[in-house]
Amino acid sequence: MSVRAKKGAKVEQSTLFDASVLGRPLPMVGEQKDIRYYGTVARNVLNGPETTGMGFWSVNPYVGCAFGCAYCYARYTHRWVLDRAATTNPEHEDMQAARDNLSPWLAFERRIFVKQNAADVLRNVLRHGSDKHKALLNGDTIVIGTATDPFQPAERRFRITRSVLEVLADHPGLSICIITKSPLVTRDIDLLKRINRHSSLTVHLSLISTDRELARKLEPRAPTPEARLRALARLRESDIETGINVMPVLPAITDQPQALEHLVKSVAERGASYVNSCALRLRSSARARYLPFIEQEFPQLAKRYRATYTFDHKVSAAYSEALRTTMRSLCEKYGVAYGYYGRNGGEAEIVEERFAGAEQLQLEL
């Protein structure tokens, strides 16, 4: 999903962790090949619209993401946490080394922070009758996974996202959205069904290409397109609203009409609730990783990418409109709705271009 925040908004940084909590030692709680996991104690896990600058609440059970998508926008959130952790834990050699020796984009993928107390914190803020609980009963949406994939490999071991879902399952009347690339989400179908019975629930599966080799290059450690398509089918068989976010569409790499048609056809055949798309936007931390990646992997495109993104973070309006027109007509052809899936007055509806209108920062998951 593409989640966009108004330019200048303090996206989660102020509430991901309390500075005093960060002062505590951060024990390594696991290791998996070249990835290290550090346990953290979060003060807050439910970030409100006024803090995030986004039109919804967000929950991120982890900081960092092992899937390592070349275009990932979310790396900057990790840098802030790593810097704070290294500064406030001078005796923590791992933290110092990660900050000093790993490039920020790689640290995001290899040093993952695990919010071990996320469920307890969430249960506390959602206690029945609390202000946050009342706001959420009024129709605000909770989005899980705006700055990390909540079902990345860490989740298999730590089950933080599952524990968060367990809390949400105990609170009827909510509007919940999960963003992921991982079929691991199907592990929790039991919980998703429970939530679905008394709350509004949508899963946004991100899929930008059905070409396995291309996907491996762009999203080196993410699940294969086939695995995501199987997850889509399973979720739909379980009556879970599941849409596909073709985000970001990468100019000259994933935007060939035939490739997009194959993608739309594939997800329509598996019952996708909707399809949405958005062209690549590059803010500074994403640009710092993505443009060198293009130089290395797609050198023939480097000049065009530099021309497009050096002085702006987005493609031209003409490109966006052409993409929208193409996707809308493909969706019509294969009988799947085009647009965001949202909730209005308790009823589910497709809300096209829901976040358009302001100058915005794309947060793509």
Taking the complex as a whole, the smallest distance from the CB of residue 17 to ligand SF4 amounts, in Å, to 18
Select 222 or 330, whichever has its Cβ closest to ligand SF4: 222
Q: What is the CB-side half-sphere exposure of residue 219 using CA atoms within 13 A?
A: 28
Residue positions counted in the chain: 365
Find the radius of gyration of the CA atoms of the chain.
Answer: 19
CB of 25 to ligand SF4, least distance (A): 26
Q: Is 363 helix (H, G, I), strand (E, B) or coil?
A: strand
Cα angle: 335, vertex 337, 338; to 5 degrees: 125
**Least distance in Å: CB of 278 to ligand SF4?**
13
149 vs 188, beta carbon nearer ligand SF4: 149
Encoded one letter per residue, x for contact with ligand SF4 by CB under 6 A and - for no contact, window 172-201 reads ---------x--------------------
Q: Which is nearer to ligand SF4, 12 or 364 (CB)?
A: 364
Give least dist CB 338 to ligand SF4, A.
22
The Cα 103–Cα 190 span in angstroms is 39
Nearer to ligand SF4, 98 or 169 (CB): 98
Site for ligand SF4 in 218-247 (CB under 6 A): 222
Q: Which is nearer to ligand SF4, 155 or 364 (CB)?
A: 364
Q: Which residues are within 8 A (CB) of 259 and not within 5 positions of it... i.e. 6 or more apart?
A: 209, 210, 211
d(CA 59, CA 150): 9
Which amino acid type is present at position 252?
A
User: Which helix (H) or strand (E) covers residue 81, if one does?
Assistant: helix 75-88
What span, in angstroms and rounded, lies between the C-alpha atoms of 299 and 301? 5
- Cβ at position 134, least distance to ligand SF4 in Å: 30
Residue choice 42, 98, 113, 149 for contact with ligand SF4 (CB under 6 A):
149
Number of residues that bind ligand SF4 (CB under 6 A): 12
Residue 181 Cβ, how far from ligand SF4 at the closest point, in Å? 5
- Pick 66 or 126: Cβ nearer ligand SF4: 66
Q: Contacts from 83-88 at CB under 8 Å and sequence distance 24+? A: 84/17, 84/19, 84/22, 85/22, 85/26, 85/38, 85/40, 85/113, 88/19, 88/22, 88/23
Report which of 243, 211, 245, 225 is spatially closest to residue 182, judged by C-alpha positions.
225
Give the pairing type, strands 360-364 and 2-6.
antiparallel
Q: Which is nearer to ligand SF4, 92 or 162 (CB)?
A: 162
CB of 256 to ligand SF4, least distance (A): 21
Q: Which of residues 34-93 bind ligand SF4 (CB under 6 A)?
A: 65, 67-69, 72, 74
Residue 112 near ligand SF4 by CB under 6 A? no
Site for ligand SF4 in 115-134 (CB under 6 A): none
324: its two tokens: 């929208």
Before 172, cis peptide (omega within 30)?
A: no
Minimum CB separation from ligand SF4 for residue 12, in Å? 13
Cα–Cα nearest to 107, from 94, 120, 119:
94
User: What span, in angstroms and rounded, lies between the C-alpha atoms of 133 and 151?
Assistant: 25
Position among 58, 148, 163, 210 found at the interface with ligand SF4 (CB under 6 A): 148
Compare residues 150 and 339 and give the one whose CB is closer to ligand SF4.
Answer: 150
Q: How far is the CB of 288 from ligand SF4 (least distance, A)?
A: 14
The tokens for 333 are 């052809």
CB of 193 to ligand SF4, least distance (A): 24
Nearer to ligand SF4, 148 or 200 (CB): 148
Binding positions for ligand SF4, rule: CB under 6 A: 65, 67-69, 72, 74, 148-149, 181, 222, 364-365
